[in-house]
Amino acid sequence: MNKILVTGGAGFIGSNFVSYALERWREAEVVVLDKLTYAGNLANLDAVKYDPRFTFIRGDVADEGTVRRAVEGCDAVINFAAETHVDRSILFPREFVFTDVVGTFTLLEVARDVGVERFVQVSTDEVYGSIEEGAFDELAALNPSSPYSASKAGGDFLALAYAKSFELPLMVARSTNNYGPYQYPEKLIPLIITNALEDRPLPLYGDGRQVRDWLYVLDNCEALALLLERGEAGAVYNVGGDCELENVDVTRRILKVLGKPEELITYVKDRPAHDRRYALSCERIKALGWRPATPFDAGLEATVRWYVENEGWWRPLRDAAFEDYYRRQYGGR
């Protein structure tokens, strides 16, 4: 890897990946292209901003001119840029189609035109939809439920079509729910941590017994790096944490780490078309030697500690966009 373009590198997983990449590939340059939406935050890149191998470009992945400038000289591209929150996609779907479909298309067009050597499309288990029992492997049909997962599925299909039609050396990585430092506090784990720290109600949708599989963000970064290095062109790779939990269990574990009472849990109206359970079979990435290395308890403790120690990071996010968004959705919580 000589020069890698990381789109969406100011977001949660992208910013973790940038630090990880600069460590893993000691000679490589890393270019971040990010629009800095509400979810993008330059503070996420503070640790690397003076690194001479790091460059930041503010711009939209759906803007071809900007993408051309960003891709110039890069031999590898990893596309994290996306609108990512299911609840927002139900309220405001348009941005999801622009970024997750048109943005991915724009990036693919430029990548094939300039002859990028490695391309990883970062996707999600949500494209498969819900599964009552068993687990989806990479050949399962896609059955998305929300505008978010449908837009991600659109991006995946385009990416795989570019691998087939134009032999773009591309892999699609579909991971389960990530957690760790720098996750925007609208997602379940950081929302529960930050609300609990202030003794606010912890809103669980429906009966709180939906199941997600949890993957520590740095384990995902390792899997993605491996795919950039050795993934098979044209292949999809599922990436899971071997850690299925009901939302209420995740919440209880957070409360235990923080020493807060379970009475904070509040059951609220369910999300429309809420997927009951996600589960992946991940044999293909395991055949490359990858395993999720971080046990959930250890990852969760590290994550809780990070939020406790970094109130200055999350409080402004909560007080601005997040408060406004929840007021509109729930009428004044």
Which residues form the catalytic set?
A: 125-126, 148
- Report the site for ligand NAD in 37-96 (rule: CB under 6 A): 37, 39-40, 60-62, 80-84
DSSP type of residue 329: H
- Tell me which residue of 189, 235, 241 sits closest to 215, measured CA to CA: 241
**Judged by CB under 6 A, which stretch of 111-119, 176-184, 189-197, 256-264 contacts ligand NAD?**
176-184
Residue 111: contacted member of ligand TYD, ligand NAD, none (CB under 5 to 8 Å, by partner type): none
**Judged by CB under 6 A, which stretch of 5-13, 201-209, 242-250, 309-317 contacts ligand NAD?**
5-13
Please, which residue, 10 or 170, has the CB nearer to ligand NAD?
10
Residue 203: contacted member of ligand TYD, ligand NAD, none (CB under 5 to 8 Å, by partner type): ligand TYD
Direct distance between the N- and C-terminal alpha carbons of the chain, in angstroms, rounded to an integer: 47
Cite the beta strand spans of the chain per DSSP E: 3-7, 29-34, 54-58, 76-79, 118-124, 170-175, 177-179, 202-205, 211-216, 236-239, 244-246, 265-268
Q: Does 253 bind ligand TYD (CB under 6 A)?
A: no
Q: How many residues does the chain have?
A: 333
**CA dist 139 to 14, 135, 143, Å?**
26, 11, 12
Q: How far apart are CA 68 and CA 169, in angstroms?
A: 18
Residue 191: contacted member of ligand TYD, ligand NAD, none (CB under 5 to 8 Å, by partner type): ligand TYD
CA 226, distance to chain mean position in Å, is 17
Please, which residue, 3 or 187, has the CB nearer to ligand NAD?
187
- b/e code 211-248 from CB counts within 10 Å (16+ = b): bbbbbbbbbbbbbbbbbbeebeebbbbbbbbebbbbbb
138 to 157: interface string for ligand NAD, x by CB under 6 A: --------------x-----
Contact with ligand TYD (CB under 6 A): which of 123, 177, 194, 238? 177
Residue 212: contacted member of ligand TYD, ligand NAD, none (CB under 5 to 8 Å, by partner type): ligand TYD
- Report the site for ligand TYD in 90-149 (rule: CB under 6 A): 126
Q: How far apart are CA 243 and CA 215, in angstroms?
A: 7
User: In this structure, which amino acid lies at residue 108?
Assistant: L
Q: How far is the CB of 205 from ligand TYD (least distance, A)?
A: 4
| Tally of CB atoms within 10 A around 26 | 7
Contact with ligand TYD (CB under 6 A): which of 188, 280, 300, 317? 188
Q: How far apart are CA 257 and CA 252, in angstroms?
A: 9
Q: Does 326 bind ligand TYD (CB under 6 A)?
A: no
106 to 135: interface string for ligand NAD, x by CB under 6 A: ----------------x-x-----------
Q: How far is the CB of 177 from ligand TYD (least distance, A)?
A: 5
Q: How far is the CB of 277 from ligand NAD (least distance, A)?
A: 15
3-state helix, strand, coil in the chain (%, to 5): 45, 20, 35
Please, which residue, 55 or 145, has the CB nearer to ligand TYD?
145
Q: How many CA atoms lie within 13 A of 22 on its CB side?
A: 21
Q: Name the residues that contact ligand NAD, by CB under 6 A.
A: 7-8, 10-14, 34-37, 39-40, 60-62, 80-84, 99, 103, 122, 124, 152, 175, 177-178, 184
